[in-house]
Amino acid sequence: MSRIVIIEDDVQSLRLAARLLQRAGHEVITAEDGEIGLKTVLEQTPDGVLVDLGLPDIDGQVVVSLLREQPGMESLPIIAFTAWPNDTAQQMAKAYGCSGVINKPINTRTFAAQVEAFLPRTAQADSPAYADGVPE
């Protein structure tokens, strides 16, 4: 089981993403703005982070940049979770040090697997979506 922090200001998107990841066997911690999300990630040391790029208080790109500056966070999987057009999201995610992008609206059937693809193999091994640490 992985610990995943979701930083998302849209409550419906946040709830749906959290529910899908929990069903896949992950521990999910949520934050509805950038400031709380940043603090949560630093306190919880998750296996991965989903961050909306368009947060109301601290821009998502700033959250990613601040996390990347922290010791031990250089290789943390940080996934941009955004409704921005894919080309723009890909460029911004790369520029700010994200590990990748998952676009909204999400596909509820494949979302957990999309997130898991970014997680370290040791975190994935305990997920029910994997048998012997290998994607089904």
- For the four alpha carbons of 16, 20, 25 and 26, in that order, the dihedral sign comes to negative
pLDDT at 122: 55
Distance CA 103, CA 34 (A): 19
Determine the 3-state secondary structure of 89 from DSSP: helix
User: Count of domains in the chain?
Assistant: 1
Question: What value, to the nearest 5°, has the Cα angle with vertex 65 and ends 60 and 71?
Answer: 130
Instruction: Provide the residue range defining the domain that includes 110.
Output: 3-135
- Give the CATH number for residue 39: 3.40.50.2300
pLDDT at 131: 34
How many Cα atoms are found within 13 Å in the side-chain-facing hemisphere of 13? 20
| Tokens matching residue 116 | 């898991």
pLDDT at 121: 75
- Chunked into runs of 10 residues, the chain (136 residues) has average pLDDT values of 96 97 98 97 96 93 94 95 92 92 96 96 49 35
pLDDT at 132: 35
Pairing verdict, β 134-135 and 100-103: unpaired
